[in-house]
Amino acid sequence: MRTCCLLLLALIALPHVAHAGDDEPATDGESPPAEEAPADPAPADDPPAEAPPPIVEEVPPTVEEVPPTVEEVPSPEPPPAPAAEAPACAHCAHQGPAGPPPPPKPLFSAMVQERARVEFVSNKDFAGPPDGRMKIGNRIRAGLGMTLGPVRVFAQVQDVRTWGSEVNPANGGEGTLFDYSANNLDMHQGYGEVISPFGLSFRLGRQEIDWHGQRLIGAVAWTDQARSFDAARLVYSGDNAGAEVFYALMLDRPTSATDTALVLEDQHLVAVRGGPRIGDALLLDGVAILRIDNLAGERLATVGAYATGKAGPFAYEAEGYFQGGARGASSIAAFLVGVRAGATLHKDAGLYIGGGVDLVSGDSDPTDTLVGTFDTLYGTNHKFYGHFDRYLNLPVHTGGAGLVDGLFRVKVAPGGKVVVSNDLHVFGAMNPAAGADGFHGVEWDVDLTVKIVKGLSAGAGLWTYFPGGWYGAGATPEFGSYAMANFLLN
């Protein structure tokens, strides 16, 4: 009987023992389900890696205000990689590493530009009253880029024409309803690019290329059509150094069914530059450019150096090149030296005062077999030798006698919205013929640029050339002018 009572009391007490353990941690090796932990933030000192930007050479300000090309518009930065999510439970954490990260998402960039410029173009004969013609040039561009990880592809088309150029082919009259072919449409740029995390990028295809201040290689954005190269280009951009090398096929012969040139008589361009970068104080590049024209029998090498920098309100730009080689039976020995410097004296008003000098060698004896005229290759001469564009083609427009260009510049840019620039050039022959008057004349350029709203700017200019004795007795002044509207969205 006593034994039965003890068993009955034990059975009654057992449920109370089990409930007393509900508030204690489990001891059977099974963890209760845990709440989902928040993702760990990325460490503050370890940001996501970003693709290095392309080399942007810093040069002193020039009076040429041109719309930025799509290469100057930064591509969208890739979004930071998402932090890894915590496992749903402690038990899942022991099942091994998570799966592969999701593939990168494509990033898109776009640009569109409409630029119209009315211009009075002088005939530059310096005889009698100023004479020339009016024209309205028009450029419309559209570009689309796509970036996927380190790979980027960009395509840009443009239509370049002058207003009123559509003609009825039947009678030569007005042809707005008849001339609808896309004969002015061009693939201005189209390339693929790979950007590495080590400062290297490789670009292949049709592309604009600007070197330094565009003295020898530039896109010539002032013109409606601008310039592109069919090229392969390797660029290194580091904190303390930069370098670039490219190859371009300039002319693939024969150019037509009637061209008698041989298949291998092409024109090639190989160029390399590079050197140290010391903050804003110095960008220094050695430069070597080789042009080979198998049909003309030309081997033209241009070697030299370029330097630019700024310290406080002062800025400078200096470059010098020697040109040598052979063209047919003639040998070439020429040079170019350019120095420009100035200072921003009033920051709020944007008052800049500066000047410089350019020396471009010529040939005082064109009858011998030694060519002394310097070829400016593919430079943007509109920026350097006056906006009147008397010297777009060197050495042709100097008669092979070279050029001396002294420059004095005053520019004001209050608030950065309005820029007024005054340039005074004094031109002369570097190597005038014996007994010839080497004084070319004086050019005064006044340019105005106004940034109206984001995506819209306007400009106007008046350029006057006062000829000297080089043009002969009785030469009279000529002028050019323009007004331009530029819509650019990117």
Q: Which residue(s) pair with 160 in the sheet?
A: 139
Please give the distance of CA 377 from its chain centroid, rounded to a whole number: 18
Distance CA 153, CA 146 (A): 5
Query: What pLDDT does 49 receive?
Result: 39
What are the CA-CA distances from residue 362 to residues 301, 386, 469 (Å)? 17, 19, 18
Query: What pLDDT does 39 receive?
Result: 40
Please name the residue that has the structure tokens 């930071």: 80
Distance CA 132, CA 7 (A): 125
Q: Closest Cα partner for 318 from 296, 297, 287, 345?
A: 287
Distance CA 238, CA 52 (A): 9
**DSSP-derived 3-state class of residue 399:** coil
Please report which helix (H) or strand (E) contains residue 20, including its range.
helix 2-20
Query: Does a structural domain hold residue 171?
Result: yes
Query: Does a structural domain hold residue 17?
Result: no
Query: Does a structural domain hold residue 80?
Result: no
Query: Does a structural domain hold residue 31?
Result: no
- Its pTM surpasses 0.85: no
Distance CA 370, CA 327 (A): 10
Q: What is the tens place of the pLDDT at every residue in 32-47? A: 333 433 344 434 444 4
Query: Does a structural domain hold residue 46?
Result: no
Q: How many CB atoms lie within 10 A of CB 410?
A: 15
Query: Does a structural domain hold residue 21?
Result: no
Domain containing 187 — which CATH number? 2.40.160.100
What are the CA-CA distances from residue 416 to residues 68, 367, 408, 450 (Å)? 16, 52, 21, 9
Q: What is the tens place of the pLDDT at every residue in 194-217? A: 999 899 999 999 999 999 999 999
Query: What pLDDT does 96 receive?
Result: 58
Distance CA 325, CA 303 (A): 11
Query: Does a structural domain hold residue 78?
Result: no
Residues of the chain with pLDDT under 50: 1-88
Q: How many CB atoms lie within 10 A of CB 10?
A: 9
Query: What pLDDT does 54 receive?
Result: 47
Query: What pLDDT does 81 receive?
Result: 41
Q: Which amino acid is at 450?
A: V
DSSP labels for 167-224?
B-TTTSSB-TTT--S-TTEEEEEEEEEEE-TTSEEEEEEEE----TTSSSB---TTSS
Query: Does a structural domain hold residue 29?
Result: no
Task: Tell me the residue range of the domain where 464 lies.
Answer: 105-489
Distance CA 448, CA 451 (A): 10
Instruction: Indicate the number of domains in the chain.
Output: 1
